[in-house]
Chain A
């Protein structure tokens, strides 16, 4: 499998040992896969929804995206070995999102035939467990944001979410402007350090990843390769 040099943050390459069975997706769930699915998915719903929201234009779109992701995930559950459920689900979410963006904006792609082929590949051989997983910038940021102590997160929330000035934030919290600034610095530094820890801070990763994930259309790098790869595997 070819990997791009910007994917310097490979979490895992999950390869199913049961490759032949994998090509016949199960429709209805056995009790075992019902329990497994619930145990993988339920704890990750908040992170899935938040990531979806950062990739979608509206909350309704985000909810739709999560639902499509869950349907795809369940179809692939027999091929998932249970390691890294979050990364597995986020990879499916990312691919689902890219696939949707392609369908919505086919005109943005230069070669309609290649597009058609790729979406066929994706549909027929959805093998997200075989894709090299990378952490998603947005997820890492939102996770790190969630883990900030309240006195830091409140400052970030007011400035970035509510668009308050430093002065208004200071007034709202009853602290000096200098304290607002130092908390903001420390809070963002923590988030930024997590970006580094996940290997997401090379410029290419940030810029390329951002473009692809946010706008979804002009993606000819990692996921395209992964899809072609799945196609090859499917033919084995």
Chain B
């Protein structure tokens, strides 16, 4: 991993440096030294920490919900919608309470 050799020596990263490697850090693509420097900075920095939370949640959201939708599910839901709209399916009692 020669990409971040600039950070190899232990030092305090500033915010710009952290934001520059944040994506790689979240993706587990930084080496241990950089990872330690970034997490150290994040634990103290009120600017970068929220950014990392947002980006992590973006990653998680895509990981969970981003895959393509199965067309058969969509067509089932379309049929269901039409049945609901014509009163063929009504709210069952267990949904009421």
- Which A positions have Cβ atoms within 8 angstroms of B? 27-29, 33-35, 37-38, 41-42, 45-46, 48-51, 53-54, 59, 63, 66-68, 70-72, 74-75, 119-120, 123, 137-138, 141-142, 145, 156-157, 159-161, 163, 165-166, 177, 181, 184-185, 188, 191-192, 195, 201, 203, 206-207, 210
B residues with CB within 8 A of A? 3, 23-24, 27, 29, 50, 53-55, 57-59, 61-67, 69-70, 73-74, 76-78, 80-82, 84-87, 89-92, 95-97
- Residue contact A142 to B62, C-beta cutoff 8 Å: yes
Shortest beta-carbon distance, B2 to chain A, in Å?
A: 11
Query: Please, how many angstroms separate the alpha-carbon atoms of A161 and B58 in the complex?
Result: 12
- Given contacts A41-B81, A42-B78, are A28 and B27 in contact (CB under 8 A)? no
- Report yes or no: B50 in contact with A27, Cβ–Cβ below 8 A: no
Chain A residues with Cβ below 8 Å from B70 are 59
A160 and B87 form a contact (CB under 8 A): no
The docked-state distance in angstroms from the alpha carbon of A107 to that of B71 is 37
Q: Which of B54, B63, B85 contacts A34 (CB 8 A)?
A: B85
In whole angstroms, how far apart are the Cα atoms of A63 and B87 in the complex?
20
CA distance A4 to B3 in the complex (A): 45
- In the complex, the chain A residue whose C-beta lies closest to that of B82 is A38
Which among B3, B66, B69, B87 has the highest number of chain A CB atoms within 10 Å? B66
| B27 contacts A161, C-beta separation under 8 Å | no
Chain B positions within 8 Å of A137 at CB level: 57, 61
CB nearest neighbor in B for A119: B97
Ranked nearest first, the 5 interchain pairs of A and B with the lowest CB-CB distance are A54-B65, A28-B87, A37-B85, A141-B61, A34-B85
A-B residue pairs in contact (CB < 8 Å), sample of 12:
A28-B90, A29-B86, A34-B86, A37-B85, A46-B69, A54-B61, A63-B77, A145-B62, A161-B67, A184-B23, A192-B55, A207-B53
Question: Known: A46-B74, A141-B62. Is A68-B95 also a contact (CB below 8 A)?
Answer: yes
Asked if B58 and A195 make an inter-chain contact with CB atoms under 8 angstroms apart, the answer reads: yes
CA distance A207 to B86 in the complex (A): 40
* Interface contact B87-A29, CB-CB below 8 Å: yes
Task: List 8 additional A-B contacts (Cβ < 8 Å) besides A49-B69, A70-B81, A192-B55.
Answer: A28-B90, A123-B97, A142-B62, A160-B62, A166-B29, A177-B3, A206-B57, A207-B53
With A38-B85, A42-B78, A184-B23: A72-B95 Cβ-Cβ less than 8 Å? yes
Specify the chain A residue showing the minimal Cβ separation from B96. A123
Which B residue sits closest to A195, measured CB to CB?
A: B54
A75-B85 Cα distance, complex, nearest whole Å: 10
The answer on a CB contact under 8 Å between B59 and A33 is no
Whole-angstrom distance between the alpha carbons of A181 and B77 in the complex? 38
CB pair A71 B95 closer than 8 Å: yes
Instruction: Tell me the smallest distance from the CB of B52 to a CB of chain A, in Å.
Output: 11
Query: Are B73 and A49 in touch, CB under 8 angstroms?
Result: yes
CB-nearest residue of chain A relative to B26?
A188
